[in-house]
Amino acid sequence: MTDQEHVMAHRQGPPDTERLEDPPTSRTFLQGLGHVIVTFTSAIFAFLYLFILLICAQITAVGAPRTKRDPNVKLTKAQRALHRNLKYYIELAGFELESHDLWSPDNFQLDVTRIVSPQAVLDNEKTSNLKQRYPVLLLPGLMQHVGAYCSAGPDAMALMLHRAGFDVWLGNTRSSIKVHNRQYSEMSHKTWDWSIENMALTDVPAIIEYIKKHTGAEKIAVVGHSQGTTQTFMCLSKQGRPDVGHSISTFCALAPAVFAGPAIDRWFLKLLRRHRWAYRSMMGDRAFLGIMGALRSITPLKLYTHAAYNMFYYMLSWSDKLWDRHYRNRSFIFTPSVVSSSLMFWWLGKGGFADTRCIFKNPEKNESWFDERFPKVGLFTCGQDNLCDPEPLKRRMATVESHVPYTVFDYPDYAHLDVMWAKDVPERVTAPMGAFIWENLDDKDHWREPVWPTAGSVPPEPAVNPATKEPDYEVVP
């Protein structure tokens, strides 16, 4: 079975022959004891680690510069409300969120959704013979959720792309608000035994293949932010699945995460740069900082989003100075998403990204990572990005990767997340990105040409909560 057939087969549920519980383990007594000890030490360490970070973040927040809300802007009650439900914000913008039941070949749920217009609009479009929307897949960064593309107000990137006429697909990989494997329980080590390779070589191709089948498109556009770009670069590399390049028309890499920046040496990240055994006794071998999930479910969202921003400010010294302050709390509802301890070891542990400072091995050797199957790539680089340094990537594209067709969109004033959340992203990032995708389409005749709303024409979010089924939402006190 090819990967694709496998994904499709699993959509109808696992075959009968497959067992839905853990197979009998052949663990020895000592291994069992090891796991118990690691569970214990890591719970204590993770608690202290998070606690100290929270304290530092609160102290730092006291003197931090703050962006003020514009007193002339009045949000409606529905706009001020916080819900840990992406559907709420999509409906607030007047669209609907379509869920798709997709599983990786190794039985992980891939949380894939699509922004669609309401039925009345679709019917209207049918009678006026509008062409099909061109599919664009958005992949979020590490510990981020696709909600990040939808949270920055009525003209957030995903909403704006849909409004312009693209078919927007939101692709969380196996790492999302929860990690769900239908073969193994949440307590099983198998549920947590995955890292970047699984996301890059299994999840990304499965999601792309699914969207192609579903829409009938031969190629789709892929947009990634941070780890979303890492996954795509690894997938398209010669050692990965370079054939996937034939399924992508353009790849837009926002704040590309290929080379490390200086922020990777902050003390709390350096602390984890240990050999596997030491790292495991600090962070365990299941979810990374698993207690965060528990904290998230008991903390009121108002407090949660506030503390999450302070943490973010302290940890990476990124601030909200370029954002629209009114939507800041929304952006922190879905962060951090759940990731495996193994994935974070790959990023931060001994021998990982933080150590070698590049997602590929031996970057100093002048051997190209990609071949001619690599699609057209747009590098949306941030001048103030202290986490992922875009300069060595640009240099490499200009020299070693000579057959990769690339365009650089440079934002000297942006930090790592500003490329999604800054106030001027609609004009400076989303519109040029959409134009870049459109210009590079070979079969423009088949697809709807994007139409960009002129300044000020983005409809405000409706004053009344458009959701008819209120009880769907978790209302936050």
Ligand X SMILES: *[C@@H]1O[C@H](CO)[C@@H](O)[C@H](O)[C@H]1NC(C)=O
- Site residues, ligand X (CB under 6 A): 69, 75, 80, 82, 302, 325-326, 329, 364-366, 399
166-171 and 96-103 beta bridge pairing:
unpaired
239/399 with CB nearer ligand X:
399
- For 36, 80, 97, 465, the CA distances from 77, given in Å and listed in that order, are 48, 5, 21, 8
Please, what is the minimum distance in Å from the beta carbon of residue 80 to ligand X? Answer: 4
Complex with ligand X: residue 190 or 325, whichever CB lies closer = 325
Do residues 429 and 157 touch, judged by C-beta distance below 8 A?
yes
Nearer to ligand X, 11 or 69 (CB): 69
Could you tell me what percentage of the chain is helix, strand and coil, using 3-state DSSP and rounding each to the nearest 5?
Answer: 45, 15, 45
Q: How many CB atoms lie within 10 A of CB 64?
A: 14
- Closer residue to ligand X (CB): 400 or 458: 400
- 236 φ, ψ (degrees, to nearest 5): -85, -5
Burial of residue 443, with CB atoms counted within 10 A of its CB: 0-12 exposed, 13-18 middle, 19 or more buried = exposed
Can the peptide bond before residue 375 be classed as cis, meaning omega within 30 degrees of 0? no
Q: Name the burial class of residue 409, with classes exposed (0-12), middle (13-18) and buried (19+) by CB atoms within 10 angstroms of its CB.
A: middle
CB-nearer residue toward ligand X: 87 or 328: 328
Cα separation of the two ends of the chain: 49
Residues forming a β-bridge with 167: 135
Cβ proximity to ligand X: between 60 and 368 the closer is: 368
User: What kind and span of H or E run contains 422?
Assistant: none
225 beta partners:
254
- Of 395, 396, 428, nearest to 409 by C-alpha is 428
Q: How far is the CB of 149 from ligand X (least distance, A)?
A: 19
State the minimum distance, in angstroms, from the CB of residue 308 to ligand X. 12
Closest to ligand X by CB, 198 vs 329, is 329
The three-class DSSP label of residue 150 is coil
Shortest spacing between CB 477 and ligand X, in angstroms? 9
In the bound state with ligand X, the residue whose beta carbon lies nearer, of 128 and 366, is: 366
Please identify, using beta-carbon distances, which residue of 78 and 441 lies nearer to ligand X. 78
261 vs 267: CA distance, rounded Å: 14
CB of 398 to ligand X, least distance (A): 9
Q: Minimum CB separation from ligand X for residue 402, in Å?
A: 10
Q: 92 — phi, psi (to 5°)?
A: -60, -30
Written in H, E and C, the secondary structure of 205-249 is HHHHHHHHHHHCCCCEEEEEECHHHHHHHHHHCCCCCHHHHHHEE
Q: How far apart are CA 276 and CA 33, in angstroms?
A: 17
In angstroms, give the least distance from the CB of 326 to ligand X: 4
Question: β-strand 166-171 against 220-225: which pairing, if any?
Answer: unpaired
Q: CB-hemisphere CA count at 13 Å for 377? A: 28
Among residues 8 and 408, whose Cβ is nearest to ligand X?
408
- Which CB sits closer to ligand X, 84 or 326? 326
CB of 297 to ligand X, least distance (A): 17
Min dist. Cβ of residue 26 to ligand X (A):
46
Supply the minimum distance, in Å, between the C-beta of residue 318 and ligand X. Answer: 18
Q: What is the CA radius of gyration of the chain?
A: 22
Q: Which residue has the tokens 């307590």?
A: 187
* Residue 301 CB, nearest approach to ligand X (Å): 6
Nearest to ligand X of 63, 477 (CB atom): 477
Tell the smallest beta-carbon distance from residue 259 to ligand X (Å). 15
